[in-house]
Amino acid sequence: MYGPEITISVMKIAIIGVFSFLIAFLVTPTLAYFLYKYKLWKKRVKDKAIDGSDISYFKKFHSDREVKIPRLGGLLIWTTVFFLSFFFYLLSLFSDAFWVEELNFLSREQTWLPLFTLVAASLVGLVDDLLQVLDISKISFFRKWERFAYIAGGLSLRYRLAMVLIIGAVGAWWFFFKLDQSAIFIPGLGDLDLGLFYIPFFIIVMIAVYSGGIIDGIDGLSGGAFAAIFTAYATIAIFQGQIDLAAFCLAIVGSVLAFLWFNIPPARFYMSETGVLGLTTTLTVVAFLTNAVAVLPIIGFLLVLASGSVILQLLSKKIRGKKLLLAAPLHHHFEAKGWPQYKVTMRFWIIGVVVAIIGVIVHLLS
């Protein structure tokens, strides 16, 4: 791309991001009113941490907020992106105006798959959230199917992982058989052809990224992390000439920033599973579409830090018989040490932005 073409592309991406922020920002008061009116929050506080340990520290700092702050905040993010995608697409069908056509970022080659992933995974997360906020123990239909969920606790982990696996399998099949992708780019080494192993590798990466979703544990933390990550991949997509994909990523960033505006500590509502599941699975697809999956552990370092700290905690308890951290994930460790939430959040944000920049540089200079 050269001259005017670059300018038009950058303007398109920026405008989509701004539109996404404004729409989500304007919709948020209505969404918040709805969530509070129907008391869509957890009906009980969890009694065990992810690593199975005592969470008296968690109850001390979070118990009141767990049962008084609504979930389902992720609705704001994926519905905004979905609306924008089809709004400009439908507008382009009825108008020949230059600017209308330029703002349409729904394309078969670049955005169909990530948009499908975002919506499908977010709907699964929505079901999980509804099972947590509704008193389904009083509904006979759900009592018959209780083995599929923990009452007031949402879908069990194995069923959520099964859904991620299915979404990952569909994505892997599409990349391998429809897009003829079987190689990943390794910075400094070039393309590494995985052959048929590309399919299980894709699924493993998606599950690994989803595991990092446990970063959604402190007010504003996950919002800042995902904003930095998707901005990084938007930058990579721009340099690759994937303008529609870059616009899609900025649409996510815009809606996440609007979400973050209302969730700077103290949070008005939580992103929860309908946000985390959609964003993590979509991030995997975007990383493969940009062929920048090798730098995903760098750009998404905060997700690695969250899931990795839990794994290390479990291994330490298994092998050494004692905990490595006061609590896992790592952000709760610092909270248990006495750090206020805003300090944990803002320092993690700084780390997230720095590693995102490093990841982009590593990929683009290779």
* pLDDT confidence bin for 1, thresholds 50/70/90: low
Which pLDDT belongs to residue 208? Answer: 96
Is the confidence at residue 60, as pLDDT, over 70?
Answer: no
Which pLDDT belongs to residue 132? Answer: 84
Which pLDDT belongs to residue 59? Answer: 56
Q: Nearest-CA neighbor of 117 among 175, 178, 171, 180?
A: 171
pLDDT 10s digits, 170-200: 999 999 999 999 999 999 899 999 999 999 9
Structural domain of 281: 4-364
Is the distance from CB of 242 to CB of 9 less than 8 angstroms?
no
Is the distance from CB of 164 to CB of 206 less than 8 angstroms?
yes
pLDDT 10s digits, 268-290: 899 999 999 999 999 999 999 99
pLDDT 10s digits, 316-339: 999 998 899 998 899 999 999 999
Q: How many CB atoms lie within 10 A of CB 321?
A: 7
pLDDT 10s digits, 299-317: 999 999 999 999 999 999 9
Report the percentage of the chain scoring pLDDT > 70. 86
Query: Locate tokens 């391998």: which residue?
Result: 176
How many structural domains does the chain have? Answer: 1
- The contacts found for 56-60 with CB under 8 angstroms, 24 or more apart, are 57/326, 57/327, 57/332, 57/335, 57/336, 58/327, 58/332
pLDDT 10s digits, 138-176: 555 555 555 555 544 577 788 889 999 999 999 999 999
Which pLDDT belongs to residue 74? Answer: 95
Is the distance from CB of 202 to CB of 171 less than 8 angstroms?
yes
Rounded CA gap, 69 and 168, in Å? 31
- pLDDT higher for 62 or 85? 85
* CA-angle at 212, arms to 211 and 213, nearest 5°: 90
The verdict on whether omega for the bond into residue 266 sits within 30 degrees of 0, i.e. cis, is yes
Q: Nearest-CA neighbor of 155 among 132, 133, 137?
A: 132
The verdict on whether omega for the bond into residue 114 sits within 30 degrees of 0, i.e. cis, is no
φ, ψ dihedrals at 187, nearest 5°: -55, 130
Which pLDDT belongs to residue 266? Answer: 82
pTM: 0.91
- pLDDT higher for 216 or 254? 254
pLDDT 10s digits, 207-237: 999 999 999 888 889 999 999 999 999 999 9
Which pLDDT belongs to residue 151? Answer: 45
3-state secondary structure of 265: coil
